[in-house]
A = this chain, B = another copy of it.
Amino acid sequence: MKKILAELLTIGDEILYGQIVDTNSQWMSVELDKVGIKVIRKTTVGDQEDEILTAFAEAEQRADIVLITGGLGPTSDDLTKPLLAKYFNCELQIHEEALAEVTAFFKSRGREMTEINKQQAALPICCTKITNPIGTAPGMWFEKNGKVFMSMPGVPHEMKKMMTERVIPKLKETFQTPQIYHKVIRTIGIGESFLADKIATWEKSLPSHIKLAYLPSLGEVKLRLTGFSSSSSSLEAEIDELVKKLQPFAGEYIYGYGDEPIEVAIGKMLRDRKLTISMAESCTGGYLTHLITSVAGCSDYFLGSMVPYAYEIKMRQLGVKPEILEKYGAVSEPTIIEMANIVRAKFNTDIGVATSGIAGPGGATPEKPVGMVWIAYSDKHQTITKKLQLSQDRMINIRMASAAVLNLIRLSLPK
């Protein structure tokens, strides 16, 4: 089967100068891989006419699909659109439907539209407009000699929505993409090398047409099984069977499958059990609550949080007993037990959780180094605590401690 090849072309001086990290192209690689399109090259060029035109011509030689991001804003340093018009030798013209969309976008936000904004609706007449549902710069799809050029905004959330909802389906339609089936198994609470050890026997038993990848992130490891076949239904059954066989090796760490992060899984568990939760966060500083409230519909189970950052607030607002704070300090097991129990009682929820630790870089003592964090879970039957020793990095500590609390909830909820 002939492979379908793609090149990712990123346009923008801000990437060449290193002022932003290009995370778009990594995300795009993963999405293209899922539908069996092979990325053969990534190229970044600056906001320079000759560089951009050369990059278009080179990419057309190498790839079937050229996906372009960036350089679509309304300002004068954004060159992608006029240069695509030049490259495909056609005029820019106000596109009536695009103009209506841009106008509606500004109207819905109660903002005035300037002449510059209006120019975002000007498109090369030889392209197909791809609607941008959450921004003002439309996407542009060009076809020539069996090759596709697709230009998208560089703003990550606009690009992702356009890619998922419009571009990927249109690419699958235009090209004969092979049958590929992916299954992502999500684990939490175990590091990559320990997990690899535990599942080594299972991994060795995988057939050659099914590939395994480890995708570690802070506090989690995802396993991705990818199968290639001419018949997707048998492949799906085969992979599901392999996932079943994985259970005895790693079942206790698996919290879900596919795209759902741990906060969504926790939300479902709470909703299913008709339980409510509240939080008292000290060192995680609101991040844990943010994860919980990032899930739409969380008001079904999440009632509220307190972030009692200062000593005073821990005592006066949350209500931790001064004698406990004084005797053991804020980062201690007796304090974390109090915090979880009190927030549960005060906020009148079924479950209360709490965090307290040294996020760093300041605040450490010889007994309480940076990265030391206490977490606790409380319900009417039990209070469970855990002590973590994380890293030297403030943001990593905040994120890993939050993930550890979500895992503690998963393990502690009534079955």
Contacts and interface: CB of A to CB of B under 8 A. Distances in A.
Contacts of A193: 74-75, 114, 116-117
Interface in A210-227: 211-216, 224, 226
A134 B392 contact: yes
B285 A289 contact: yes
B117 A224 contact: no
A324 interface: no
Given A157-B396, A193-B116, A362-B296, A47 B213 contact: yes
B305 A306 contact: yes
Contacts of A104: none
Copies, count: 2
Contact of A51 (B40, B312, B348): B40
13 contacts: A14-B224, A20-B215, A22-B26, A58-B58, A76-B196, A285-B294, A296-B394, A302-B309, A304-B306, A304-B308, A304-B313, A304-B317, A306-B317
Contacts of A99: none
Interface string A44-62: 1111100100010010000
Contact of A109 (B30, B108, B194, B389): B389
Main secondary structure of the interface of A (DSSP, over half): mixed
A237 interface: no
A348 B312 contact: yes
A248 interface: no
B391 A134 contact: yes
Interface of A: 10, 13-23, 25-31, 33, 38-48, 51, 55, 58, 73-77, 108-111, 114, 116-117, 134, 155, 157, 182, 184, 191-194, 196-197, 203, 211-216, 224, 226, 278, 281, 285-290, 292-294, 296-299, 302-310, 312-313, 316-317, 346-348, 359-363, 389-396, 398
A289 B73 CA distance: 31
